[in-house]
């Protein structure tokens, strides 16, 4: 898809085709541990990649960092609220289409200068949905529904502004008009968690965001985890397992895998780094972002070296 052209609706794959495709997956209990580079290598050009977490909370930053380093191209990206990682994906030349509800490193820093440049100059297809509408679309995908009826966005100008097709219908029970949001079934979901076992049973703390629905809606799930724990530890608290092994295809042990963003119970956001980056792009735009990425994305030999640049490597 060429940036600037009219996109297809978010989901145009018939439900039975999805079921047939999913039935071919190996959902057995098997070890899925691999390196960061091996996991990202499974992402294909033209894939729809959904990103877990929210704003600068539990962002799968290491996966995105490696995705940019591997120079994946022509991706569709969806995330409920986009932060720093969106700048890297756009400036890195990875994205044809971006679906989100907000695109800013954080409220105090204002809208992304990189996003504005790409949208205003027609270098990317940009779809702004409401926060809840994206959540409902992932939920429909997780439930195996082709669409979901809702009142989300009704009464606003957002449906008219969207390039993708959104339909309405009259409820057969009440007669009320409702909006039909198409399901989102990403090719790949990238999710960071506090702990997972080698099979992909994942547990996370703090706000859950949309991660469980994203995982169940996606064809493939790549997890990074602060620590790989034993299956016995997972079984000791089964009610904390939010993503089951049968949904997961790769597990990467990656301490500080959300840095410079936060991971609840492990580390806080690096506000100093984020503020400095915002100052750079506020004055220098895309060129400043590219200079920053050369130093922080492409120069480090691996993720551990990047973490050391953030001053986190020595922390437990």
Neighbouring residues of 272: CB distance < 8 A, sequence distance ≥ 6: none
Residues 127/7, Cβ–Cβ less than 8 Å: yes
Domains and CATH numbers, the chain: 28-144+185-309 (3.40.1080.10), 147-182 (no CATH)
Task: Quickly list DSSP for 139-166.
Answer: HHHHHT-SEEEE-TTTTSSHHHH-SS--
Quote the Cα angle for 77-271-205, to 5°.
65
Q: What percent of the chain has pLDDT over 90?
A: 82
Phi, psi of 15, deg, nearest 5? -60, -45
- Other beta carbons within 10 Å of 184: 26
Can you give the pLDDT at residue 166? 83
User: What digits encode the pLDDT tens for the residues 77-133?
Assistant: 999 999 999 999 999 999 999 999 999 988 889 899 999 999 999 999 999 999 999
Neighbouring residues of 175: CB distance < 8 A, sequence distance ≥ 6: none
Judged against a pLDDT cut of 90, whether residue 162 lies above it is answered with no
Q: What does pTM read for this prediction? A: 0.92
Can you give the pLDDT at residue 289? 97
How far apart are alpha carbons 289 and 267 in whole angstroms? 25
Q: What percent of the chain has pLDDT over 70?
A: 94
For residue 7, give both structure tokens. 């996109």
How far apart are alpha carbons 94 and 73 in whole angstroms? 4
Judged against a pLDDT cut of 90, whether residue 157 lies above it is answered with no
How far apart are alpha carbons 18 and 23 in whole angstroms? 9
Can you give the pLDDT at residue 259? 97
Can you give the pLDDT at residue 314? 55
């Amino acid at each position: 898809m060429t940036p600037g052209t009219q996109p297809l609706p978010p989901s145009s794959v018939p439900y039975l085709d999805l079921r047939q495709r999913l039935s071919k997956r190996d959902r057995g209990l098997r070890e899925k541990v691999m390196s960061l580079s091996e996991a990202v290598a499974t992402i294909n050009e033209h894939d729809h990649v959904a990103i877990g977490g929210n704003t600068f909370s539990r962002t799968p930053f290491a996966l995105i960092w490696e995705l940019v380093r591997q120079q994946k191209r022509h991706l569709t990206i969806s995330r409920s609220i986009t932060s720093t990682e969106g700048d890297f994906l756009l400036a890195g030349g990875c994205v044809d289409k971006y679906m989100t509800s907000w695109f800013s490193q954080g409220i105090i820093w204002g809208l992304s200068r990189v996003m504005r440049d790409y949208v205003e100059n027609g270098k990317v297809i940009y779809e702004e949905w409401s926060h809840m509408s994206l959540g409902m679309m992932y939920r429909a995908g997780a439930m195996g529904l082709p669409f979901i009826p809702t009142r989300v966005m009704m009464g606003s100008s957002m449906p008219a502004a969207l390039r993708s097709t959104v339909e309405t219908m009259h409820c057969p029970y009440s007669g009320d008009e409702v909006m039909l949001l198409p399901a989102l079934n990403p090719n790949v979901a990238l999710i960071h968690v506090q702990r997972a076992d080698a099979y992909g049973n994942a547990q996370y703390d703090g706000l859950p965001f949309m991660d469980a629905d994203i995982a169940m809606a996606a064809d493939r799930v790549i997890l990074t985890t602060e620590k790989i724990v034993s299956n016995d530890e997972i079984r000791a608290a089964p009610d904390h397992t939010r993503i089951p092994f049968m949904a997961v295809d790769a597990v990467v042990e990656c301490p500080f895998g959300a840095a410079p963003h936060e991971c609840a119970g492990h580390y806080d956001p690096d506000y100093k780094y984020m503020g400095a980056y915002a100052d750079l792009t506020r004055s220098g735009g895309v060129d400043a972002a590219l200079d920053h990425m050369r130093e922080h994305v492409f120069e480090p030999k691996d993720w551990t070296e990047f973490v050391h640049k953030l001053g986190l490597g020595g922390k437990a």
